[in-house]
Amino acid sequence: MAEEFEPKIVAFLCKWCSSAGSDLAGVSRMEYPPNVVPIQVMCSGSVSPLYVLSAFNKGADGVLVSGCHPGDCHYIKGNFYARRRIALVKRLLDFIGLEPQRFQMSWVSAAEGTKYTQIIKDFVQELKPLGPQTKLRRDL
Amino acid sequence: MKRTGVFICHCGINIAGTVDVKKAAKELAKHKGVVHSEEYVYMCSDPGQNLIIDAIKEKKLDNVVIACCSPTLHETTFRNAAKSAGINTFQCEIANIREQCSWVHKDMNKATDKAIKITKSAVERVRRNESLEPISVPVTRRALVIGGGIAGIQSALDLANSGFEVVLVERSPSIGGHMIQLSETFPTLDCSQCILTPKMVEVSKHPKIKLMTYSEVQEVSGYVGNFKVKILKKPTYVDPDKCTLCDECSKVCPVLVSNEFDLGLTGRRAIYIPFPQAIPATYTLDIKGCPGLLPIACGKCADVCEPEAIDYDMKPEIVEEEVGAIIVTTGYDLYDKENMAEYGYGKYADVLDGLQFERLCSASGPTMGKILRPSDHKEPKEVVFIQCVGSRDPELHCAYCSKICCMYTAKHAMLYKHHVHDGQAYIFYIDIRSGGKGYEEFVQRAVEEDGVLYLRGKVSKIFEDKGKIKVWGVDTLSGKDIEIDADMVVLATAMRPSKGAEELAKKLKIAMDKDGFLSEAHPKLRPVESVTSGMFLAGAAQAPKDIPEAVAQASGAAAKAIAILSQDRLYHAPTVAKVNLNLCTGCGMCVEVCPYEALSLKDGKVEVNEVLCEGCGTCSATCLRAAIQVKNLTPLQVHEMISISLGG
Ligand code: FES
């Protein structure tokens, strides 16, 4: 029997909230699938659309951008920019036919280890039936 | 090629229990550029750190990656170790393989695989890091204190007595705040004016304090250590140096307006001194009441002023000050009486708020310390005090507890009994909150010595009936309905942030909580700092509090400000934005999104103010040409990290 498909996820986590929230998940010994590799960025507002495209390009099956809750950004308003930018990127990806489930944005505070855990679990579940992402992948 | 060293920590079994650290070290050793890879049981221990230091020296490493716990824990430890071995602190990066890997997974193979990816991506990042030194800026060694109540006075004195110059700005004509209006203070019953006026005099005489009353902060720019402040000095039309306080002017002034110092219980003239011990000791002409200066409609005050202190041509002035730290002590106001119509407040003359009652008790108040009803100047024989008026009422009013009302109501009832021996005081309350040194004993004293009757319950209705104020309520302990024919009712109304605090907070760019009080940087560990560095908070501007707490916080804020002002230079993280001038087209999109106003256009290119920049990277995500990037987390670095994370 073929091995079950394991989606590869890249998660851009802002340093002040989401990365801290994911640290808390660890400190609280929660468990989630190891499909996700985190990349800590300073702020969700620093995630350029190119990062997202680059991740899909290099074979990501799913991309997550996670920041502080709106209004709580460590840099005052970075996540408001992120929210608008991500919405645009989402539309672009929709337009070129990528399944919308593959790209997500979330708000996870430093106190929300449980929420982060749940988000990753759900994300992996949603990606599994989709199979590998091939639309944007530049096969080596 | 740069020579990289990788150090993988077991963290006892915290990491090694789930991640095959030996395999990870072996895999990393194969990664290009890695010339040293080892694992050890506790990297953060002294021997662990020595391993790193020795390897850097022996193998001539250019940079290192430590794969261990979250960077929030030991990044500084390892960066310092790297520094002691002679490499730049930014040539050390942390790969978080504990919180974000070993602790959240069970499958050893998969966790090991992930840990390898995380570590490799840190290797790719560190190889492209620039060596940076902290940015340093000089410090303007003066402070600004906004608000001249007890908190502001305390902060200003502490700063000045430590040798720093202080500009103390107060918007009303005198310092003293609400504390100067109080009669006696709990739990010792010492006279408020007697303990405050010496401090006020000290402020006015202190060579290091520049007192600016009747002034308001208009604009603040700059950053910690180097703020520029514009202060509007409103004209008082009286030269304080010439004024001899003879009071002739106010005797002839034809205008009578409500006296804010007595909260409307008395009137004052348009030209006035707020109270006899006002600091600065001078008169102020309040043009709101004055019949007119342009052209002069009355002119009586100037006519009688022998020293010619009155100058109708005085103009508003903008004063610019440079300071290194700012303390905000804007205090409180009482909840607007319009909101408390249900208790007849504002409708019946004998329904008062707490501050009005303070004035009635005060020896220098409108009744010279005799407690008399405002309506007919008779001595009230039954007085009802009501606590939690507007507080602890999330549906209709303020959700929070105003904290000081339990204590001052007990004090009021006590003072009333000391003045009117045959009177009876009733207090309606929800709970008694008397935490504080000597506070509980104080409440007990009110009950035992002064026979104050505490009734647990809410008041349902207050209305006038045959010269009495009828108070209907329930005593929830006995379940009985209560009806009192009171002569006077005193409401312990909620404390609100002072009017104008919101506007000021916006100018200073400091955050407010949902109730409009100023937000501290951390509710437990940084209670006097605002989120903006270099700006501090004290007193009731931050939350309702009593005098000792306000004073303690004010001293705390002063100490924090001194920590900045006593520095020769301040240091700032150097991971800031950098512009590639060849790529920048000067479109200005980044300038617009920068939350710190750190970017500006100069000669068609963007320029970064490195001191203002916090390195958030919002600019770099906005730039269409990657012309602006944050040092040590550049798009190139992120792209390399992405590729490694996806397996190479
Ligand atoms: S710092 Fe978390 S979103 Fe900006």
Ligand 1 nearest atom to the CA of residue A14, by list position: 2
Q: Which of A19, A41, A77 sits opposite B633 (nearest CB)?
A: A41
- The structural domain count of chain B equals 5
Can you list the alpha helix ranges (DSSP code H) found in B68-191?
71-84, 108-127, 150-161
Q: Are residues B228 and B202 in the same domain?
A: yes
Q: Is residue B645 part of a domain?
A: no
Give me the total of CB pairs closer than 8 Å, taking one residue from chain A and one from chain B: 125
B640 is a domain residue: no
Name the residue of A12, A66, A74 to mutate for ligand 1: max ligand atoms within 8 A of Cβ. Answer: A74
Q: How far apart are CA B92 and CA B52, in angstroms?
A: 11
What pLDDT is recorded for position B501? Answer: 95
Task: State mean pLDDT over B54-69.
Answer: 97
Q: Which of A25, A26, A76 sits opposite B595 (nearest CB)?
A: A76
Do the chains contact at A75 and B614, CB–CB below 8 Å? yes
From A24, A55, A78, residue closest to B642, measured CB to CB: A55
Residue B209: name the closest of B148, B140, B119, B270 by CA: B148
Chain B's closest residue to A84, CA to CA, is B622
Q: Assess if residue B310 is contained within a domain.
A: no
Mean pLDDT of B163-172: 98
Strand pairing class (B468-475; B459-465)? antiparallel
| B9 & B120 share domain | yes
How do residues A33-59 score in pLDDT, each as one tens digit?
A: 999 999 999 999 999 999 999 999 999
Contacts with A133 from chain B: Cβ below 8 Å: none
Q: Which of A12, A14, A23 to mutate to test the pocket of ligand 1 (most atoms within 8 A of CB)?
A: A14
**Residue B345 predicted with pLDDT over 90:** no
Question: Is the Cβ pair B635, A50 closer than 8 Å?
Answer: yes
Question: Phi first, then psi: what are they for B228, rounded to 5°?
Answer: -115, 130
Per-residue confidence in pLDDT tens, chain A, 140 aa: 457 899 999 999 999 999 999 999 999 999 999 999 999 999 999 999 999 999 999 999 999 999 999 878 888 889 999 999 999 999 999 999 999 999 999 999 988 999 999 999 999 999 999 999 999 998 75
Ramachandran class of B390: left when φ > 0, alpha when ψ lies in -120 to 50, beta otherwise? left
The vertex-B208 CA angle with B204 and B212, nearest 5°, equals 50
Q: What average pLDDT does range B353-379 have in this prediction?
A: 94
**Model confidence over B249-265: pLDDT tens digits?**
999 999 999 999 999 99
A71 at B interface, C-beta within 8 A? no
Q: CB B630 to CB A42 under 8 A?
A: yes
Q: Tell me whether 0.90 is exceeded by the ipTM.
A: yes
Q: Which atom of ligand 1 is nearest to the CA of A82?
A: 3
Residue B82 has pLDDT above 50, yes or no: yes
d(CA A9, CA A30) in angstroms, rounded, equals 19
Nearest to B277 by CA among B190, B175, B144: B175
Structure tokens at B249: 């002017």
> What is the distance between the alpha carbons of residues A17 and B473, in angstroms, rounded to a whole number?
49
Final residue in a domain of this structure, among B539, B565, B591 = B565
A13 C-alpha to ligand 1 centroid (Å)? 9
Q: What is the CATH number of the domain that holds B51?
A: 3.40.50
| B466: containing domain | 335-496
Mean pLDDT value across residues B471-484 = 93
Does residue B9 share a domain with residue B115? yes
User: Is the predicted pLDDT of residue B392 greater than 90, yes or no?
Assistant: yes
Assess whether the previous peptide bond of B280 is cis (omega < 30° from 0): yes
Asked if the Cβ–Cβ distance from A43 to B635 is below 8 Å, we say no
Ligand 1 neighbours, Cβ below 6 Å, are A 14, 16-17, 43-45, 67-68, 73-75, 78-79
Span of A97-106, B161-170, B204-213, B500-509 with lowest mean pLDDT:
B500-509
Question: Hey, are the CB atoms on A23 and B70 less than 8 Å from each other?
Answer: yes
Indicate whether B386 and B355 sit together in one domain. Answer: yes
Residue B644 lies in a domain: no
Q: Can you give the pLDDT at residue A1?
A: 47
d(C-alpha B152, C-alpha B558), whole Å: 10
pLDDT at site B389 = 94
**Is residue B30 domain-shared with residue B121, that is, in the same domain?**
yes
Contact: B103, A47; criterion CB under 8 Å: no
C-alpha to C-alpha distances, B381 to B358, B420, B450, B491, B498, nearest whole angstrom: 18, 7, 14, 17, 34
Q: How many CB atoms lie within 10 A of CB B503?
A: 11
pLDDT for B295 equals: 82
Cβ separation of B104 and A25 shorter than 8 Å? yes
Q: How far is the CA of A73 from the centre of ligand 1 (A)?
A: 4
**Nearest chain B alpha carbon to A44:** B618
Q: How confident is the model at residue B524 (pLDDT cuts 50, 70, 90)?
A: confident
The Cα-based distances of B329 to B126, B245, B321, B555 in angstroms read: 45, 29, 18, 12
- Residue B309 lies inside a defined structural domain of this protein: no
The answer to which of B336-345, B374-383, B557-566 has the lowest mean pLDDT is B336-345
**A20: which chain B residues are within 8 Å (Cβ-Cβ)?**
72
How many whole angstroms from A86 Cα to the centroid of ligand 1? 14
- Residue B434 in any domain: the answer is yes
* Helix, strand, coil distribution of chain B in percent, nearest 5: 30, 25, 45
* Whether residues B373 and B466 fall in one domain: yes
Q: Is residue B571 part of a domain?
A: no
Whichever domain contains B589, its CATH number is: 3.30.70.20
Domain shared by B414 and B537, yes or no: no
Compute the distance between CA of residue B91 and CA of residue B359 in angstroms, rounded to an integer. Answer: 66
Sort out which chain B residues have CB atoms less than 8 A from A77's CB and list them. Answer: 595
Query: For position A2, what pLDDT does the model report?
Result: 59
Q: B408 and B426 share a domain? A: yes
pLDDT tens per residue across span B430-469: 999 999 999 999 999 999 999 999 999 989 999 999 889 9
Contact between A58 and B642 using a beta-carbon 8 Å cutoff: yes
The pLDDT score that the predictor gives to residue B648 is: 66
The mean per-residue pLDDT over the stretch B391-407 comes to 95
Given a contact cutoff of 8 angstroms between Cβ atoms, the answer to whether B127 and B99 are in contact is: no
Q: Are residues B28 and B149 in the same domain?
A: no
- Share the mean pLDDT of chain B: 95
> What are all long-range contacts of A84-92, with beta carbons under 8 Å and residues at least 24 apart?
A85/A45, A85/A47, A85/A49, A85/B621, A86/A47, A88/A49, A89/A49, A89/A52, A89/A53, A92/A49
User: Is the confidence at residue B378, as pLDDT, over 90?
Assistant: yes
Indicate which atom in ligand 1 lies nearest the CA of residue A42: 1
Is residue B291 a part of any domain in this protein?
yes
Structure confidence at residue B269 (pLDDT): 95
Q: Which residue has the higher pLDDT, B364 or B152?
A: B152
Please state the φ and ψ torsions of residue B593, each to the nearest 5 degrees.
Answer: -85, -15
Choosing from B133, B155, B180, the residue where a domain stops is: B133
B226 and B281 assigned to the same domain: no
pLDDT digits 0-9 by tens, B287-296: 988 987 878 8
Of residues B543, B537, B493, the one with CA closest to residue B515? B543
Question: Measured between CB atoms, does A44 come within 8 Å of chain B?
Answer: no
B155 in the same domain as B208? yes
Atom of ligand 1 nearest to the CA of A46: 4
Collect all residues of chain A within an 8 Å Cβ-Cβ radius of residue B101: 26, 34
Q: Based on the domain organization, do B175 and B122 belong to the same domain?
A: no
Q: Does A22 touch chain B (CB under 8 A)?
A: yes
For residues B510-518, average pLDDT: 89
